[in-house]
Amino acid sequence: MRQLFNFCIAVLLLASCKDPIIIDIPNNSPLLVVEGVVSSELDSSFVKLTLSSNYYASPNYKIVESAIVKINGIDFIHKGSGVYKAYDGFIGKVDSTYELSISYDNKTYTSTSTMVPMFRVDSLSQTYKQKEGFLPAGNSISYWGFDNRTPIKYTYFQSGFFDADKGKDSVQYNLVLFDNNSTPLGKEYAFELPFTRFNSGTSFFCIFRSIDKPMYDFLKEYTSQSSRAPGPFKQQPANLPSNIKGGAVGYFATYDVKRFRYLVK
């Protein structure tokens, strides 16, 4: 009985603690945020510039319109919404190194990335599978590839399907990362894409992008911070790694892009 009385008193004391706790969060100056891509696809290269927001500010980040942006000496001109693009017809080339230079607010930011060639994807195939766990019965998709690149190379993969109701492609899996450390080198192999189950008549698509090690590290850390459910065991937020020099945050990447579409039979 005495233990119950002591417990009740403790609860009342805790409930009566209403003094506000004030945490002083520094109001830091905004940083330049860079999202830069040189792609092997026609007119797909761009640099997007915004400014970071402090804790107290609105999440609507301010765009940067007055920067001087160059990649390998080529001017990237502001086209609106903080997006800078090169001349029409610009296309990145594999095995080429690209140097980004940004001049803004009396500061210079630089970065370098080399476009790694994508491995060869020869074809896509399907295999019908019965219901398994949370996956319904349907056709699983595999790709047949060949890779003789050394040392370890990295790939950023996306896939999805054509959504007839919306009239556009819908990305099903975002930010899938893998490397060729565990796939056969120098011979063709089949790889079954995880969690794919499609009915006949579905238009499936997939996108492979080769990436260098710094971009792989950036995306891996981004995935670890953004994909976990909230809770006491969630990874604490931290600054993402960046290959931008000069005090900016973000990334500059080069992609050799390969796209494939497959009609499920």
pLDDT tens by residue, 170-214: 987 667 899 999 899 999 999 999 888 999 999 999 999 999 999
Which pLDDT belongs to residue 47?
Answer: 98
Tracing tokens 């497959």 back to the chain, one arrives at 262
What is the distance between the alpha carbons of residues 46 and 80, in angstroms, rounded to a whole number?
12
Tracing tokens 């370890």 back to the chain, one arrives at 152
Residue 175 CB-density burial (10 A; 0-12 exposed, 13-18 middle, 19+ buried): middle
Which pLDDT belongs to residue 175?
Answer: 76
Per-residue tokens: 2:
């005495």
H-helix segments, 91-135: none
Confidence of residue 96 (pLDDT cuts 50, 70, 90): very high
Q: Which residue has the higher pLDDT, 153 or 8?
A: 153
Which of 27-31, 45-49, 219-223 bottoms out in mean pLDDT, i.e. has the lowest? 27-31
Give the mean model confidence (pLDDT) for residues 157-177.
Answer: 87
Q: Which residue has the higher pLDDT, 225 or 27?
A: 225
Confidence of residue 48 (pLDDT cuts 50, 70, 90): very high
Residue 177 CB-density burial (10 A; 0-12 exposed, 13-18 middle, 19+ buried): middle
User: Is a pLDDT exceeding 90 seen at residue 151?
Assistant: yes
What is the distance between the alpha carbons of residues 204 and 33, in angstroms, rounded to a whole number?
34
Q: Identify whether the C-beta of residue 166 lies closer than 8 Å to the C-beta of residue 120.
A: no
CA distances from 178 to 158, 212, 216, 220, 246 (A): 11, 12, 9, 10, 30
Task: Classify residue 119 by its DSSP letter.
Answer: P
β-pairing, 249-263 with 32-39? parallel
